Structure 1
Amino acid sequence: MSNRPGNGPNAQTEKPPDKITCYGCNKEKQAHSFSKTQLAKYMSNYHNPYAPKGRTTKKHHIMCKQCTPQQNNSLTCMICTRTKSLDQFAKAQRKNAEKARCLECMKKREDDDVDDSEPDTASDGSFNETWDDIL
């Protein structure tokens, strides 16, 4: 068995072409303008020795490094509407960016006394009916 590079199950047998069209900007660019992951997806469109009939069934749309979206480093809290870094949010809150609440607002909500609510009497001293009174 030889230890030559290029042998083995993870070896790429084919080299990507010099020019590839980006799906994002629709421009033809050099192969070095794409990440290794995008190039692997591109190559699997044409040849994948582990896929049935040598091809993947899904057509991958590859994008160059400039068109690939970058990682989001901040979120906006839906309560205080301030934009803060990711470390100011719980991991569970980061998953749904539209409904994310910062740790500070979550702590305030937790500290609020649930039993401390408005009295059931109006400002003029008359009694307001509640659903408990009706039922």
Structure 2
Amino acid sequence: SVSPRQPAPGGGGGGGPSPCGPGGGGRAKGLKDIRIDEEVKIAVNIALERFRYGDQREMEFPSSLTSTERAFIHRLSQSLGLVSKSKGKGANRYLTVKKKDGSETAHAMMTCNLTHNTKHAVRSLIQRF
């Protein structure tokens, strides 16, 4: 069983649904405790997923983020097997996200081979939405 974590200092509490997507499982851990705009959650989730599967080793988020948004990114990064760190002080505080070395991130990726019929069924379901 997964127990919720306390929000980071200055962070919000209680709130909306957690993001979902490839990666599954423990991803919701603590994310629902942080209240930020759904648009920000979606944008951060997409950015981290692209980063996770891309060639970059490090990614930087701007100093314009609030402490609550940074807390969300820290928790989401951790749940995706990434390492995050805030740097700087006050209005100049920003966040970097790095990939863990080799074998640790390799375990986070999984492939799934589907038959032709299964691919067709998935496509038709997706097109309905």
TM-score category by the smaller chain? under 0.3
**TM-score after normalising by structure 2:** 0.21
Higher relative contact order (CA 8 A, sep 6+): 2
Q: Higher helix proportion, which one?
A: 2
TM-score normalized by the length of structure 1 = 0.20
